[in-house]
Amino acid sequence: MPFVASDDGVEIFYKDWGSGQPIMFHHGWPLSSDDWDAQLLFFVQQGYRVIAHDRRGHGRSAQAGHGHDMEHYAADAAAVVAHLDLHDVVHIGHSAGGGEVARYVAKHSAGRVAKAALIGAVPPLMIQTKSNPGGLPIEVFDGFREGLATDRSQFYLDIACGPFYGFNRPGADVSQGVIWNWWRQGMAGSAMAHYEGIRAFSETDFTEDLQAIDVPTLIMHGDDDQVVPIAVSAELSVTSVENATLTVYPGLSHGMCTLNAETINVDLLDFIKS
């Protein structure tokens, strides 16, 4: 399997399929590059080169005991880009991966980035603070930590069965395959990486990163996202990125890239071609 070593020696797994303009996908917590299956297959069939990596401690990447923060996440993404010598890249990030994209584009792009897309993404800042009163209380994330440390397997099933895909909504069309695939990806990663990653995605302030983005940026968010509420994320992020457009999807969940791939993929394709 293809790996690249990060600056601090962590082996990062990546997929690299097809040819043409490169699109790089950055997955959410606590998943892996497999969460982008519906996008990778679609875009490679549209004539693009698609790249997706497993974040350190996630999926098939090394279960390092250090570096579970956005600085290292962005640097690891940069290592993949440099190893493959990618240019004119469209970077697409979901959830925590959206934070990774914001940090990467702000600090590591060096002229390599063509466009960016943030989907159900955590920026600008998820946690409630004096300067961010609309954020989520720290007790929410402490609950994540407790669930992970106490019974990670059941905790992950509860997330997949419930808020991530909106399967807890009345009349939801529940897919057991989607649930088990989410659980499979989560359990493949490191409990330590996932535990420390909660702080990375919830307490990192991306405001300055967003302000530094100077490429066309598409922000996509479902208005029934129960994991990353739109009011504390996309509706604020769009005001910080100079050349950003916000597309809101009525009734869609945090997991819309999987459940509503036919809609998301077409909108991403239109954005990339525009």
CA torsion sign for 155, 156, 161, 166 is positive
Are 82 and 51 spatial neighbours (Cβ–Cβ below 8 Å)?
Answer: no
Q: Dump the DSSP string for 40-66.
A: HHHHHHTT-EEEEEPPTTSTTS---SS
Three-class secondary structure assignment of 116-163: EEEECCCCCCCECCCCCCCCECHHHHHHHHHHHHHHHHHHHHHHHHCC
Active site members: 95, 225, 254
Q: Kindly give the pairing relationship between strand 49-53 and strand 11-17.
A: antiparallel
CB half-sphere exposure, 168, CA atoms < 13 A: 13
User: Cα(265)–Cα(199) distance, rounded to whole angstroms?
Assistant: 30
